[in-house]
Amino acid sequence: MKRKHITAAVLVASLAVSSMMAGTAYAAEPTTTVAQGELRGFMDGDVYTFLGVPYAYVPERFALPEDPQPWEGVRNVQSFGPICPIPDQTSVGGDELVWPHRYWIQNEDCQVLNIWSHNIDKEAKQPVIVYMHGGGYKNGSSIEGVAHDGRNIAEYGDVVFVSLNHRLNALGYLDLSSYGGEFENACNLGDEDLIQALRWVNENIEAFGGDPDNITIMGQSGGGRKVQGMLRYADCEGLVDKVVSQSTSYLTPMAKEDAKAVADKTLEILGLDETNIEEIKTISYRELDDAAEAALSELGLGWVPVENEGRLADEFLEWTADVPMIVGSVFTESSGNMSTGIGWADHNKNEWTDEEVQEKLTEQYGENAQAVADAFTALYPDKKLADAYYLAPRGVSYRNGVKEVLANKVETGTAPVFNYMMTYEIPVNGGTTAFHCVDIMYYLHNIEIPIVRIASGGPDNQDALDLQDRMASALVNFAYTGDPSTDELKWEPYTPDQPYAMRWDVESKCQILDDAELLAAAAK
């Protein structure tokens, strides 16, 4: 689905000719004006691009975000801004071949966002997609995945795509509120950044051709829980119109007493207490992070938003009832053959003999092997039985997590909820089962980015190109209307009685995906 192309008149009107030299017209880069001042971006083909735009000002560590400070003159926003500091990384990820990364400058002043738009006319009223990155609440950034880039979906669908960075790990989720005083608001500051970003988008997105009354928030993995979290804040009412939550689980905040234990232990490791706690604002990030990670490890906990009565609700708030939602996962998530190596090593799983398949299923599921085989074959008759090996444990846990999100949204809302399952096998290394993150590059129409395209089997893989069009078209239609159906594919809403899901594969189809029996057998 290719939407209207930007008109020559709009392009000419937006780009002022600055000078004439040797018969060549030199056009100035595009500018637009937001509440804080004028911004200068650049053109990437016919897509207006503004990178590293500040959406908040944080006066000191552990402070609430404020509106960005205004600037004089024109501010260049032509390169990505800093990302939040993250724990030291010492090895190359095993998924680098099919999910290439970008690593960038780290700085605590990381409250910046990136905007791609096909038309910056204030009257364009394009739907807006605000993307919240994964990596849990500890790692990641808006640009970590090369496939997070928003240029292609902005061009393909005539939407405004926004990605952003926010505080993570100890900077964003160490709860110091129990210490009171200047720390009384130091709880879930990463979430507070996200809310501030949504406020900024609502107030300024018209300057980029976006419609402030049509904003979809989208996130994958940890980002999927972040977008869920936004549905639990009263401040987000009027800032969110649609939601896409990918490969995630239902958000369960950390108990307040556990959060206090983490804070107390962190301070103890740092040699701080109530008398000198203010020093936590100025110690090095690495020292702070090492102490906080040690505290989490000792207590058996991980970063996640903290219970915050009166601020973060226990469930989706009433205002979200009429907010439509897409929730889904991919076939094997992080237990596929890319993660386990089984199927890439020795010989490929697509070459296993029937006897080897049975041996592998017995190895994985024990006495439940036949039950898994029967349920799998009934549900996925188009897949090879060898694929069933890779459902456990993470494919099962992610799918169960998605079903919990679906159940809660259906129970608390009236708007339609849509489910998907991506089962497409990528023709790389003899066949790679759908892995955690792979759906992002298809939804954002990014499989043709040179460094990404190996993850789709190369530039001549027509199946992947067609699937990209179908998935991106569904996302764009959802952003426009709240219904991801296209002329090619009708996407039925999910209900507990009729658990429809869109199966994204070479032959995509919407089907009843009642997999309770399979998941129960595979989980034992």
Q: Which CATH number fits domain 46-68+79-86+101-252: 3.40.50.1820, 3.30.365.10, 3.90.190.10, 3.30.590.10?
A: 3.40.50.1820
pLDDT confidence of residue 21: 45
Per-residue H/E/C for 398-450: HHHHHHHHHHHHHHHCCCCEEEEEECCCECCCCCECCECCHHHHHHCCCCCCC
CA distance 307 to 313: 8
pLDDT of residue 28: 80
Query: The tokens of 390 are what?
Result: 């890779």
What CATH number belongs to 325-523? 3.40.50.1820
pLDDT for position 259: 98
> Quick one: the chain helix, strand, coil %, rounded to 5?
35, 20, 45
Amino acid 415: pLDDT: 97
Identity of the amino acid at 82? P
Q: What is the pLDDT of residue 157?
A: 97
Residue 140, pLDDT score: 96
**342 has which bridge partners?**
345
Q: 68: how many CB neighbours lie within 10 A of its CB?
A: 20
Q: DSSP alpha helices (H): ranges in 245-391? A: 256-270, 285-299, 337-340, 354-365, 369-379
The pLDDT of residue 40 is: 98
pTM of the model as a whole: 0.93
Contact (Cβ atoms closer than 8 angstroms) between residue 242 and residue 153: no
Task: List where CATH 3.40.50.1820 sits in the chain.
Answer: 46-68+79-86+101-252, 325-523
Whether omega for the bond prior to residue 393 falls within 30 degrees of 0, making it cis, is yes
Residue 402 and residue 329: Cα distance in Å, rounded? 7
Neighbours of 403 (CB within 10 A): 22
Q: What is the DSSP letter of 145?
A: B
Confidence (pLDDT) at 430: 85
Tell me the torsion sign for CA atoms 266, 269, 274, 276. negative
Along the chain (524 residues), what's the average pLDDT of each consecutive run of 10 residues? 45 41 69 98 97 98 98 97 93 84 94 97 97 96 95 98 98 97 97 98 98 98 97 98 96 97 98 96 97 98 96 96 97 83 66 94 95 96 95 91 96 96 92 93 95 85 96 98 97 97 97 96 89
HEC per residue, 171-190: HHHCCCHHHCHHHCCCCCHH
Report pLDDT for 18.
41
